[in-house]
Structure 1
Amino acid sequence: MYRFHVPTIDISPWVGPGPDHARAAVVAAVDHACRTVGFMQIVGHGIPNVVIDDLEAGIDEFFALPLEVKKQYVRPAGENRGYTPPKSESLSYSLGVDPVTRMNDFFEAFNVGTSWREYPGTAATAADYAENTWPDAVPPFRSAVEEYFVEARRVARTLTQIFAAALRVPEDFFDALTDHSIDVLRMNNYALPPGSIELGAELTGMGEHTDFGLVTVLWADQVAGLQVLGLDGSWNDVMPADGALLVNIGDVAARLTNDKWLSTLHRVKPPVIDGTIERRRSAAFFHDGNADAVVDVLPHFVTREAPALYEPVTVAQHIAAKLAGSRAGRKNLTAVREAARVTASHG
């Protein structure tokens, strides 16, 4: 009988020097999680508590600003930087699925990421690696976010080392895919002032979607809301364990493995208690890969019985199609397989 389960994995043998048998056990556990659920809880990640505490404080201070102040930091949708007001996105469109109401995801967010200036000598350009906007209204915000960004990127790169071992590719395989990776930290706030929205069945915190890139490292409050689609088509509540980060793989990993690893659909439902929304915060670090990297199915995942499910595509092309859906309201008609899974879950 199928039972949905997100495993907790201690990756400390890969964060620091660990014995071979312990590192092998981590590889096996990560491979199993990627094949069966696409999500895992990781502990032993090595991010100091003070770094996370400072991030929380910075997030709180920024999102507490008046909406008219926060809107000063809105950037064009394609740049994936700056402030995103409530109800200006619908992530279901990134999969080519019509949401219940247009652009109805009620979360607000602030995005920062790697700039093209950080990758001299590469093909990185401002088109894919935009400059950041930092809110001068909250001076401590930048230092807190930058410090966490460095730690989250370290964790993501550690995970790709584990992935290389699990996928039986050379240990430097992901270097060529991620040496000038599009890395984005999206800080989300699921709370709105009383009376600013109409509570009801159509309210969506964040619509069904898969993550675009290679791997996502998520810090989140221990508050209900995140739901993950199980293999049986059921939606299941997932909450971070004490001291854990939630990790899930994205579309790039699924493409590399011909869907042997699962880029799992997930969503955020608003936790409504006594007619009000309980606040939920999260910070998702997306390690997406180089904009110009061509993602193709690894040869050893293709057989006569299991032909390649995807055509080669660059990371930039894939992300552009997804962002055009979620932010510009244009259906991503290339996400046929993902859209079918969303439709089946509704049924």
Structure 2
Amino acid sequence: MPSRTLPPVTPYIPAPEAAEELDYADLPVIDLSTAATAEGLKEQATVARDAMRNKGFFYAINHGYTPLQRMFDVANIPFEDVPREEKQTYAGNIKATGSYLGYKLRNYWHIENGVHDQLEHYNLNGDVDRRQHPQALRPLLPEIEEFAKHCHFSVLHPILRLLAVGLEMPEETLVNSHTYGTVKNESYVSFDVLTPLSNDESSWPRSEDEEEKTNNVWLKGHTDFGSITILWSQPVVALQILSPSGRWQWVNHIDNALVINAGDALEFLTGGFYKATIHRVVQPPPSQRGYTRLGVFYFAMPNGDVVLEPMVKESRALQREKGHLERRFEEGKAPIMESWRRARTSAYGKSELKKSDDGADVEIINGVTVKHYN
């Protein structure tokens, strides 16, 4: 972070950690500081490869971003310091544009049985000047831009190098398809919040009837549509992943760590060698109900003109696996990243879904079956 006087912001007070004994997923830990050496890169690449093949999630530590509490303070501004009317002004036209930039307001996504979501988002491209922002956020844009750059160059790029080495391809191969700050790349910073809507913890943020209708699910089980998602760990336990054994497991909070997962684009580019893991958001355990859950994310994706075909020519590992790769598109019919992003974004939470034999809700996007789990 450049040395300068930072604008004052109201401190965000995080929730206490969960008191319950929960079934937490056993996720590997990647030390990004050791991946800076040739020996460490090789060692950590094996851990990252196995994690993405078997679980689709891992933790990353020693990422080099030190004023983390300050970024959570900043992330809270678009929700606490922007009036409702101004939020409407900066709401994204998500279905029409296929873009999440701007506000995603409450009650936009349908969850189940007529119940809609209570998540509020504010999303910014790494190029923060691409669009206008609420008045309260404008003095903080230089900080957010520096944060986006750190996510992209100091977290995403090292992870992409690890995954490329795991695929036995030149380490810059995946990095070269994730260009920062150009019109070709739609990676973005995302702040989201679930805030108590009443003083009654039993109905926060939904009534008991709504919780029953959705089986306590706040965001259906899904895969992300990009390549890599970076979640800055926070204390409210609500994220669950679907384990290889078919069991929903909680993702535990590790202070100052990152939770990393693969998305559709990485799965497509590797022919299923790396898995886009299904995850969901559910009602927190009783000890954390009534507390605000604030999220800070970086959603990374390949450049918009990247064709989402398996990278067999570039990868010796994929060449060995060629007969076992999972093609989600017919050969020669894979879309570019921009088409996949727009289609997934426009459809999510707004399209008509059908039940599959395994009980999932399904939709067809660009010829691919996309599943949602409730």
Residue correspondence of structure 1 range 36-185 to structure 2 within 5 A: 36-48=54-66, 50=67, 52-65=68-81, 66-77=83-94, 78=97, 79-90=99-110, 99-102=111-114, 104-115=116-127, 131-154=130-153, 155-179=155-179, 180-185=184-189
Distance 1:101 1:272, change over 3 A: farther
Separation (CA, whole Å) in 2 of partners of 1:116 and 1:47: 19
Q: 1:185 to 1:138 in 2, by over 3 A?
A: closer
Q: Which runs of no fewer than 5 residues in structure 1 stay unpaired?
A: 91-98, 118-130
Change in Cα spacing, 1:133 to 1:273, as seen in structure 2 (3 Å) is farther
Structure 2: segments with no counterpart, 5+ residues: 1-23, 313-317, 354-362
Match of 1:11 among 21, 26, 32: 32
- Pick aligned residue for 2:336 from 273, 289, 314: 314
- Tell me what 2:253 maps to: 240
Query: How far has the Cα of 1:242 moved from its partner?
Result: 2.0
Which residue matches 1:126?
Answer: none
**Is 1:259 aligned to 2:263, yes or no?**
no
Q: Call closer, same or farther: CA 1:316–1:139 in 2, change over 3 Å.
A: closer
Task: Provide the rounded CA distance (Å) in 2 between the counterparts of 1:338 and 1:5.
Answer: 26
1:246 deviates by 0.6
Shift of 1:188: 0.8
Q: CA deviation at 1:55?
A: 1.4
Distance in structure 1 (CA, Å) of the matches to 2:336 and 2:156: 20
Residues 43, 304 of structure 1: CA spacing in aligned structure 2 closer, same or farther, 3 A cutoff?
A: closer
1:86 aligned counterpart, secondary structure: coil
Task: Name the SS of the counterpart of 2:299 in structure 1.
Answer: strand
Greater Cα shift, 250-259 or 56-65 = 56-65
Distance in 2 (CA, whole Å) between partners of 1:144 and 1:270 is 32
The structural deviation recorded for 1:102 is 4.7
2:241 to 211, 228, 246: 228
Structure 1 residue aligned with 2:53: 35
Tell me whether 190-199 or 149-158 shows the greater mean CA deviation. 190-199
Residue 205 (structure 1) shift = 2.6
The number of equivalent residue pairs is 314
Pick closer, same or farther for the CA change 1:175–1:336 going to 2, 3 Å.
closer
Deviation, structure 1 residue 115:
4.7
Greater alpha carbon shift after TM alignment, 257-266 vs 102-111:
102-111
> Aligned letter for 2:190?
R
Matched residues in 1 for 2:173 and 2:235: separation? 35
CA gap 1:21/1:80 in 2 versus in 1, 3 angstroms: same
Residues 1:182 and 1:232: Cα distance change in structure 2 (over 3 Å): same
Q: CA deviation at 1:159?
A: 1.1
TM-score (norm 1): 0.82
Deviation at 1:138, TM superposition (A): 3.8
Q: Give the TM-score normalised by the residue count of structure 2.
A: 0.76
Aligned position for 2:281: 268
- Is contact 1:218-1:246 (8 Å) kept? yes
Percent identity for Structure 1 against Structure 2: 21
Shift of 1:330: 5.3
CA contact (8 A) 1:289 1:315 kept: yes
Is contact 1:106-1:190 (8 Å) kept? Answer: yes
